[in-house]
Amino acid sequence: MKNILNLLGLARRAGKVALGYTATTLAIKKGLVPLVLMATDTAPHTREKMERLCRKYCVDLYYLADQGELGRALGKNAQNVVGVTSKEMASALKKQILSARTE
């Protein structure tokens, strides 16, 4: 998990993320986001809307950590939704997430 959050922080510093629900939604609609990461403790209504949007635009969606952990990885207090805008970074994050799930 720590590797994933570190990689996410690197993506943030590189400017390769859309932070928050609104920014992520707009980026998805423009076709800029191949991967969305959500906090595990996101409100059900927000979860449902983001899941529906990701299905519609064929964007991968993963639940990662709680809002506090996700926010700290990104240099914020708390964060619910993060859209990764770099295909390379999204691929690296997805590989880390899938390998963490199999361990």
pTM of this structure: 0.94
Nearest CA to 78 among 70, 90, 89, 87? 70
Asked whether residue 103 carries a pLDDT value surpassing 80, the answer given is no
Tell me: pLDDT of 102 over 90. Answer: no
Residue 53: the pLDDT is: 98
Kindly calculate the radius of gyration of the chain based on its CA atoms and give it in whole angstroms: 12
CATH superfamily for 2-102 is: Ribosomal protein L30/S12 (3.30.1330.30)
**Cα separation, 2 vs 36, whole angstroms:** 18
Query: How does pLDDT run across 34-86, given as a tens digit for each residue?
Result: 999 999 999 999 999 999 999 999 999 999 999 999 999 999 999 999 999 99
Could you tell me the sign of the dihedral formed by the alpha carbons of 73, 76, 80, 82, in that order? Answer: negative
